[in-house]
Amino acid sequence: MRTRPAETPLCEVLDGDRVRCLVCERRCVIGPGERGFCGVRLNMDGRLVALSYGALSAAESRPIEIKPFFHYWPGSTAMTISTWGCNFRCPWCQNWHLSTGVPPERGPSVPPSRVVEWAVSAGDEGVCVSFNEPTMLFEYSLDLFREASARGLYCCYVSNGYMTAEALDMLISSGMDGLKIDVKGGEEVYRRYAPGADWNVPWRNARLALSRGVHVELVYLVVTGVNDEEADFREACSRLVRELGPSVPIHFTRYFPAHRFSAPPTPLERLEEALSVASEEGVEFAYVGNVPGHPRESTYCPDCGERLIARVGWRVVSVNLSDGRCPSCGREIPIAGRVVKKPRPW
């Protein structure tokens, strides 16, 4: 089967056969025969189409903890898919081989129903759009999530959070119930490394998603020399508590040199400083990522300190919950979905 460009449901028709894309907050104005900033959406004869529909760069059953989601279907796996392209140009991108490419105008196409069948056959509990920015598959996601939800699968995004409110609403209405948002840093980080992007948008979308009952977790990639000062951590943590609530998890993950960025890997001390700041600011669930074996990969009760979910890397090794509560003090622990226990090949 060959890829057929799918018309984008979110666009504004302008004069001169131009169109304005309304999928992400860049809101690109695209002339005839041109693509938007992301390289995925094309003005084809005055219509905005997505070249990514069905054009998958990867499909694999993956543990949900690797996203990372720690409070959303712990222990489960999701059929995870991606395409090419991105609406950001982060020089340290860990998946640059996907984010810097664009889908071919013609090529193999995978229908959403096949992804759902792959998930069911693999014994997955859900589907996830990840690896590169998932809004590159926005149009495809709407169909995928409807079909997956109808089969009882959860549906989630691993995103930079830069979609429009209208796009977010359509995703949620189609069945998305989990959203992981990457917070790049403060206003200066976005100004320097994501020119033209408004740093408030990911936070707005986190608030909107929470208000619609979507499970939200944040990831903060601690990039050496970019967003690794105490003031940076404090700004992110205080904003999380103030705008999203103290029980929204945040993952401080270790950066490694990649793509066009060669600063040394994040020192462990910086990650642990971020954890200390999070505690001071009232964040109840702060984690360290990309440091296998670190004790703060596990979930602890914010009231009594009891270890509740023990993890090593992306493996759940033990669960110590009693009807969703800490067995020691009775504190309710926010978990979306259910805890899944099954053999892992990882």
Which domains are seen in the chain, by residue range?
A: 6-50 (no CATH), 58-298 (3.20.20.70)
pLDDT at 222: 99
Distance (Å, whole) CA 269 – CA 335: 29
Distance (Å, whole) CA 99 – CA 109: 19
pLDDT at 5: 85
Q: Return per-residue pLDDT of the chain as tens, 346 residues.
A: 556 689 999 999 999 999 999 999 999 999 999 999 999 999 999 999 999 999 999 999 999 999 999 999 999 999 999 999 999 999 999 999 999 999 876 778 999 999 999 999 999 999 999 999 999 999 999 999 999 999 999 999 999 999 999 999 999 999 999 999 999 999 999 999 999 999 999 999 999 999 999 999 999 999 999 999 999 999 999 999 999 999 999 999 999 999 999 999 999 999 999 999 999 999 999 999 999 999 999 999 999 999 999 999 889 999 999 999 999 999 999 999 999 988 765 5
pLDDT at 71: 99
pLDDT at 162: 99
Cβ atoms of 292 and 313 within 8 Å: the answer is: yes
Token pair 């949900």: residue: 64
Where does the chain show beta strands of DSSP type E? 6-7, 11-13, 19-21, 29-30, 41-44, 47-50, 58-63, 77-82, 126-129, 154-159, 178-182, 215-222, 250-254, 286-289, 299-300, 307-312, 315-319
Residue 115: Cβ within 10 Å count? 24
C-alpha distances out from residue 254 to 52, 203, 231, 284, 301, Å = 30, 22, 18, 20, 24
Distance (Å, whole) CA 47 – CA 25: 19
pLDDT at 284: 99
Distance (Å, whole) CA 32 – CA 16: 8
pLDDT at 344: 64
Q: Report which residue type is found at 124.
A: D
